[in-house]
C-alpha cells in the first residue's frame, strides 16, 4: 500500500523539478491523446515544440513567440506579487481590457496629431486604466473586507461590457461605415507600438515585460517591500509582528498587478492588435494565472513559463494546419500542463512511501 507522508519541509529539489516533470508528463499523455486521434504522436509533439523554434519558418515564429509571450509574462509578474502574499487578483483580464481602452482612448484623443509625446501618454493612461480597475477590489477589501477574488473576477465582465460599448460608440472609427471597432492605431504612427527592429517581434511591450521581470526579481530579493510580501504569504502572524501594514500591502499588490495588466493591454492594442474591438480580449489575463503558477511565482520562472505557453499556442496552430489536429485537442494539451503541474506539486510537500502492511 502507498501512503503520502507530509515532508517536514517542502522539498527544494521537487519544487524545481515539478515543472519539468509536468512538461514531460504532458508530452507523454498528450502523445497518447494524439495517437488515439490517429496522428503520429512523435510528429505532433515535434511540430508543437520544434517547428516554432527551429523549423523551416522559424524566422517568422520566433518573433511571434515574443509577441504572444510578452503580455502573458507582464501580467503574470504582477499577479505573482499578490499571489505570493495571498492576495488573489483573478481579474487581470478586466484590467487588461481597461488598460487597452484607456491607452487607445488617450491616443485617439490626439488623432491625427503627430507628436513624440502621444505614445508616452498612452503608456501612462494604459497603466492608469489597469490600476484603476484593480484599485476597486483593493479599496473594497481594505475598507469593507470584501473578497477580492469575487470582486476582481466580476469586474472582468463589467470591463467586457465597457469594451463593447466603446467599440460601438465612444471610440468607434468615424470612417468605419458603421461597423464596430476603433481606428486602427497601426496606421496612426505617433500612437503605433511598432516593432523596434522590423521583423524582430520586439515591441515596447516585450521590453517592458523584461524590465518587469528584473524589477520583480530585485523587489522580492533585495527590497523590504518584497520581504514583506513573502513574509505575509509564508507566515502571516510573523508578518504582523514584523509590522507589515496589510492594507498597504493589498493596495500595492493589487494596484501593481492591475497597472502591469493595463500596460499589457495598452501595448497589445497599440501594436499587434491595432484596434479596440468587441473581441479584443482573448484570455491573456486568465492564461497568465497559469503562467504565474507554472513559473512557481518566481520572476525568472514566469519568463520561462510565458515562453513555454506561447510555444504551445503557436506550435498548436501549426499542428492544426499541418496535421489537421482539432483545436480542442490542443486546448486539452494545454490544460494537461496545468493539471500535471498541480498534481506533481504534491511531491513538493509530501513524499510517497510504501506503508507496512498493518491491519487497519
Partner 1 sequence: MKFTSLLAGAAMVLGLATGAVAQDKTKVGFVYVGPVGDGGWTYEHDKGRLAVEKEFGDKVETVFVESVPEGPDAERVMTQMALEGADLIFTTSFGYMDPTINVAKKFPNVKFEHATGYKTAPNVSVYSARFYEGRAVQGHIAGKMTESNIIGYIGSYPIPEVIRGINSAYIHAKKVNPDVEFKIIWAYTWFDPAKEADAATVLIEQGADVILQHTDSTAPQAAAQEAGNVITFGQASDMSEYAPKPRVSSIIDNWAPYYIARTQAVMDGSWETVNTWDGIKEGMVEIGEISDAVPADIKEEALAMTAAMAAGEYHPFTGPIKKQDGSDWLAEGETADDGTLAGMNFYVEGLEGEIPQ
Exposure class string for 10-25: b at 16+ Cβ within 10 A, else e: eeeebbeebbeebbeb
Binders in 146-175 for partner 1, by CB under 8 A = 160, 164-165, 168-169
Q: What is the DSSP letter of 325?
A: -
Q: Which of residues 149, 202, 219, 278 is near partner 1 by CB under 8 A?
A: 278
Q: Which is nearer to partner 1, 208 or 273 (CB)?
A: 273
In the stretch 296-335, what mask flags binding to partner 1 with x, by CB under 8 A?
A: -----------------xx--xx-xxx-x-xxx-------
* CA–CA distance, 182 with 279 (Å, rounded to integer): 12
Q: Which is nearer to partner 1, 43 or 320 (CB)?
A: 320
In the stretch 83-112, what mask flags binding to partner 1 with x, by CB under 8 A?
A: ------------------------------
User: Does position 177 bind partner 1 by CB under 8 A?
Assistant: yes
CB of 160 to partner 1, least distance (A): 8
User: Does position 282 bind partner 1 by CB under 8 A?
Assistant: yes
Instruction: Evaluate whether 191 touches 107 at the Cβ level (below 8 Å).
Output: yes
Q: Is 332 exposed, middle or buried (0-12, 13-18, 19+ CB in 10 A)?
A: middle
Helix, strand, coil proportions of the chain in percent (round to 5)? 70, 5, 25
Exposure class string for 281-313: b at 16+ Cβ within 10 A, else e: beebbbbbbbbbbbbbbbbebbbbbbbbbbbbb
User: Does position 193 bind partner 1 by CB under 8 A?
Assistant: no
CB of 283 to partner 1, least distance (A): 8
Binding site for partner 1 (CB under 8 A): 56-57, 59-61, 64, 67-68, 160, 164-165, 168-169, 177-180, 184, 186, 198-199, 268, 272-275, 277-280, 282, 313-314, 317-318, 320-322, 324, 326-328
Amino acid at each position: 500500500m502507498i501512503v503520502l507522508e507530509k515532508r517536514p519541509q517542502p522539498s527544494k529539489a521537487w519544487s524545481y523539478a515539478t515543472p519539468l516533470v509536468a512538461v514531460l508528463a504532458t508530452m507523454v499523455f498528450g502523445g497518447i491523446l494524439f495517437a488515439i486521434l490517429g496522428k503520429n504522436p512523435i510528429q505532433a509533439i515535434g511540430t508543437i515544440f520544434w517547428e516554432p523554434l527551429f523549423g523551416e519558418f522559424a524566422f517568422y515564429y520566433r518573433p511571434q513567440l515574443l509577441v504572444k509571450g510578452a503580455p502573458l509574462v507582464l501580467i503574470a509578474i504582477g499577479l505573482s506579487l499578490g499571489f505570493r502574499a495571498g492576495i488573489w487578483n483573478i481579474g487581470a483580464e478586466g484590467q487588461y481590457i481597461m488598460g487597452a481602452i484607456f491607452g487607445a482612448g488617450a491616443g485617439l484623443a490626439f488623432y491625427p496629431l503627430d507628436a513624440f509625446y502621444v505614445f508616452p501618454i498612452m503608456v501612462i493612461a494604459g497603466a492608469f486604466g489597469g490600476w484603476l480597475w484593480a484599485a476597486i477590489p483593493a479599496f473594497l477589501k481594505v475598507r469593507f473586507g470584501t473578497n477580492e477574488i469575487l470582486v476582481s473576477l466580476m469586474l472582468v465582465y463589467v470591463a467586457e461590457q465597457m469594451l463593447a460599448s466603446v467599440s460601438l460608440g465612444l471610440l468607434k472609427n468615424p470612417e468605419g461605415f458603421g461597423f464596430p471597432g476603433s481606428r486602427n492605431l497601426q496606421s496612426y504612427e505617433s500612437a503605433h507600438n511598432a516593432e523596434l527592429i522590423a521583423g524582430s517581434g520586439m515591441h515596447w511591450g516585450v521590453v517592458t515585460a523584461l524590465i518587469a521581470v528584473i524589477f520583480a526579481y530585485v523587489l522580492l530579493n533585495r527590497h523590504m517591500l518584497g520581504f514583506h510580501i513573502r513574509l505575509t504569504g509564508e507566515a502571516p502572524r510573523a508578518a504582523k509582528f514584523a509590522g507589515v501594514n496589510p492594507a498597504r500591502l493589498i493596495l500595492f499588490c493589487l494596484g501593481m498587478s492591475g497597472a502591469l495588466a493595463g500596460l499589457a493591454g495598452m501595448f497589445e492594442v497599440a501594436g499587434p492588435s491595432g484596434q479596440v474591438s468587441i473581441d479584443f480580449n482573448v484570455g491573456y489575463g486568465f492564461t497568465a494565472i497559469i503562467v504565474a503558477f507554472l513559473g512557481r511565482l518566481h520572476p525568472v520562472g514566469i519568463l520561462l513559463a510565458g515562453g513555454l505557453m506561447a510555444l504551445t499556442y503557436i506550435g498548436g496552430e501549426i499542428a492544426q494546419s499541418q496535421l489537421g489536429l482539432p483545436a480542442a485537442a490542443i486546448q486539452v494539451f494545454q490544460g494537461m500542463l496545468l493539471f500535471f503541474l498541480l498534481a506533481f506539486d504534491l511531491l513538493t510537500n509530501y513524499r510517497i512511501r510504501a506503508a507496512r502492511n498493518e491491519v487497519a
